[in-house]
Amino acid sequence: MGLMAFLPELTFYVGQRFKITDPDELTFWGGMIYGAAPFSAALAGPIWGALGDRRGRRPMAIRANLAIAAITLLMPFAASPGWLLFLRALMGVLAGYVAPAIAMVSSHAAPERHGRTIAWLQVAMAMGSFAGPLLGWLVALGVTNALPADFAPWWGRASCFWITTVLSLIGAFLLWRYATEERRPPRAQQVPFVRELLLGIRQLLGNRVFAWLLVLVLMLRLGQNMLEPFVALFVRELGPIEALNWLIKGDEQILSLTASLAFSVLAVAQWVCTPLWGRLSDRFGPLRCLAFVGLLLGLLQIGTASVQGIYSFMSLRILAACVMAGSMTLSYAAASKRVDEGRRTLAFAMVQSCMQLGFGCGGMLGSAISRIGATALHPNLRLPFVVAGLLCITAGMSMFALRRRSLSTARAAPLPETIDLS
């Protein structure tokens, strides 16, 4: 909830705080700042994952929440877009709470129920993603209207960062007070951490099916997140939802609420559809379901490139949200079936790194593509939808091939000479 309180408003905040009026410059800084945190998190994620396997997953989750709280406390004081970019990158380096949280929860579930277990954790995240954008909009609107204009750089949309600080501190306290984790016996001979990290990564990448899964998850995330930093700008191009006029007044406020709703539908879809994807994963296999996610999402992304009105965009956005609701759950479930328990947090961190890398680089790639055919007043936000759709379709088709390869490899594996029936 805290993170999603400021992310939908981030591009608007950058333009307002640093007085950026040029659309091309705003698109550049919006994409860079939005994607800096997931990009740096992708690089640091395996380190925190290996520490989670070594020191415990609960301490890693608490540390991540405290780091997010400290950095968002400083963000409103950034004096330039470059400083805000640095703080976003630092947030990504010190964060990394999803992988240890999922590993901690899935360790208590039977392997045949990993899909549903991970899905319910994603539902909890989706509830925060649904409430976060609306909370950020309400706080920013209320504070902006209540305070003089001189306070706008420090409050207004900037107050959304401090909402994140408070909620992250609450999350850290609840984890410290209520989360439990089984203590594992210490190893007889402790290997140096760097050596153990490199050994764990080498062992996981030695599994070719898992290694190719990482590549395809990265490709799918690139297509999925290429336009997310520019949803607010695309909404501005199409126009706000006119039906909201009865609720609030002011074009800028209606536009901001429309952009928040475009993000909130993702959370509602995760809330409703993620348990369904979890059940489908346990029944038909997570990799097969993930392949269908890629194909369907690619077709919807290409269709979105041709919309002419806000209602058509929101309709396709809702359908795409229902499909995207399964991507995270299915990716982790597919990985959990191909790694050992002792390396699970590291494996989840590597999957998370690929998703974060796609999240971060997707915005940068979308920003570059949007300049092709752009005018002086408007970036070309439709071409990236087509490119994103083609990436998703390619990832989906490749996942079908990877699944066939994993099945043939499993059938060809020799049976053990002895069987322990104890």
d(CA 288, CA 187): 38
Taking the alpha carbons at both ends of the chain, their separation in whole angstroms is 47
Residue-level pLDDT at 409? 59
Position with higher pLDDT, 330 vs 118? 330
Q: Which of 67-81, 82-96, 147-161, 274-288 has the lowest mean pLDDT?
A: 147-161
With contact defined as beta carbons under 8 Å apart, do 324 and 224 qualify? yes
- How far are the Cα atoms of 135, 180, 254 from residue 246, in angstroms, in the given order? 20, 48, 10
Structure tokens at 82: 């470059």
Mean pLDDT computed over 124-153: 66
Q: Where are the alpha helices (DSSP H) in 95-181?
A: 98-106, 114-146, 159-178
Domain-located, residue 417: no
pLDDT per residue over 72-106, tens digit each? 999 989 989 999 999 999 998 888 777 777 777 77
Residue 302 has pLDDT above 90, yes or no: yes
| Helix, strand, coil abundance in the chain, percent, nearest 5 | 80, 0, 20
What phi-psi label fits residue 238: left (phi over 0), alpha (psi between -120 and 50 degrees) or beta? alpha
* φ/ψ of residue 418, rounded to 5: -125, 150
The domain of 284 spans: 2-178+193-406
Position with higher pLDDT, 296 vs 108? 296
Domain-located, residue 231: yes
Q: Chain-wide mean pLDDT for the chain?
A: 81
Domain-located, residue 411: no
Domain-located, residue 350: yes
Mean pLDDT computed over 245-266: 76
pTM: 0.69
CATH of the domain at 103: 1.20.1250.20
Number of separate domains in the chain: 1
Domain-located, residue 94: yes
Q: Is 147 helix (H, G, I), strand (E, B) or coil?
A: coil
Domain-located, residue 184: no
Domain-located, residue 183: no
Residue-level pLDDT at 408? 63
Domain-located, residue 416: no
